[in-house]
Amino acid sequence: MLWLLPIRLQSSRCRKVTTNRFDFMDTKVLKPTKENISYCAELIKGGEVVGMPTETVYGLAANAFDEAAVEKIFKVKNRPADNPLIVHIADIDMLKELAVDIPDIALSVCKKFWPGPITLVLPKSDKIPFITSGGLDTVGIRLPSNEVARELIKACGLPLAAPSANLSGSPSPTTAEHVFDDLNGRIYAILDGGRCSVGVESTVISFESDIIRLLRPGRISVDDLKTVASEVIIDKGVLDVISNDSKVKSPGMKYKHYSPKADVVLVDGSIEFFERYVSERNSADTYVLIFDNDNISDDIKSIRYGSTSEQQAERIFAVLREIDKIGAKKVYARCPSKDGVGLAVYNRMIRAAGFKVIKEGD
């Protein structure tokens, strides 16, 4: 099938986007065939942004070297300019072009966990524009394991800057449909790679000599990281509230995230405590988020989000989107375990709840 490139592409490469208004674009959801991957690569090389599947969540991809294209990412998502983007590569050789002074421990992490769901924050090379790094001297780099993502990067022959492909503040997208729901009319194409297998965004780490600092938890867990580092520090921003004007190690920590419109409260305790607590507050537009193996009264409307931490990670964002679709006003959620990838689920859930936690025994 022959696709015609949209006319505005041809002159857009160096053009600055200066307003948040969009000409309505016909957003195509495309199967990841060779042809469609080439079409999307042409869009990206022409300065456009494209929805791309990865194993974690869908990304909104553009040429990481093209300032005008990267600016479009910020406009499309309505993202604060100081929140840096992760740059995606298809092979480890690309790393040396993008980062400098790479410590040995970073190379050990790459060797062990790439391709995969982990992002390394490293001193950036001059090739990375400051708009991509959110004004920082460092850049986050990731080599995804998702084949479609890697094929797209290879077809472009460029590193791709890609934040999660949601509107800023809303839950990250784990299907092409989620991307369409948020960005329909704002982008030309979404490559549909099916449901993301991990379901939460990559683990983000930085390095302090031989020590790893965890900036955002993900599928690669603290225990996984301890197999390559003498010490792993969990940054304060992973579990605590960060005020909007404070200086943080990873700017994404301070922004409101993953929030459904409903008021979410996390309830930390046994299922008996949970059921008692919710029963006393149950009303027509109240829902609970519980685990697959929880038994709870039929009078309480429930949505289940898995039993293992891996399943909870895979489903959490879809469930947070569903909450809004069904029009829930108040949601009480069972508190996930903080072990392994559970720490990532907890980190996303506590933000969805705006840090409102009720503890059994308090």
The binding site for ligand TXA (CB under 6 A) comprises 54, 56-57, 59, 83-86, 117, 119, 121, 133, 136, 138-140, 142, 162-164, 201-202, 204, 215-216, 250-252
- What residues contact residue 240 under an 8 Å CB cut-off, 6+ apart? none
Half-sphere CA count of 298, side-chain side, radius 13 A:
0
Residue nearest ligand TXA by beta-carbon distance: 252
202 binds Mg ion (CB under 5 A): no
21, 54, 334 from 287: Cα distances, Å: 36, 31, 11
133 binds Mg ion (CB under 5 A): no
Strand partners, 207: 212
For residue 52, the minimal CB distance to ligand TXA (Å) is: 7
63, 160, 174, 316 from 289: Cα distances, Å: 39, 35, 18, 10
For residue 338, the minimal CB distance to ligand TXA (Å) is: 19
For residue 159, the minimal CB distance to ligand TXA (Å) is: 12
For residue 134, the minimal CB distance to Mg ion (Å) is: 13
164 binds Mg ion (CB under 5 A): yes
Which helix or strand (DSSP H or E) is residue 138 part of?
strand 138-142
Span of 158-166, 188-196, 335-343, 351-359 interacting with Mg ion by CB under 5 A = 158-166
Buried b (16+ CB within 10 A) or exposed e, 181-220: ebbeebbbbbbbbeebbbbbbbbbbbbeeeebbbbbbbbb
Q: Looking at beta carbons only, is 216 or 304 nearer to ligand TXA?
A: 216
Closest CA to 54 of 118, 112, 123, 5: 118
Structure tokens at 99: 């980062």
Residue listed under structure tokens 């494209």: 50
Give the one entry of Mg ion, ligand TXA, none that residue 106 binds, where binding means its C-beta sits below a cut-off of 5 to 8 angstroms depending on kind: none
Give the one entry of Mg ion, ligand TXA, none that residue 171 binds, where binding means its C-beta sits below a cut-off of 5 to 8 angstroms depending on kind: none
The footprint of Mg ion on this chain (CB under 5 A) covers a number of residues equal to 1
For residue 240, the minimal CB distance to ligand TXA (Å) is: 15
Q: Which residues bind Mg ion (CB under 5 A)?
A: 164
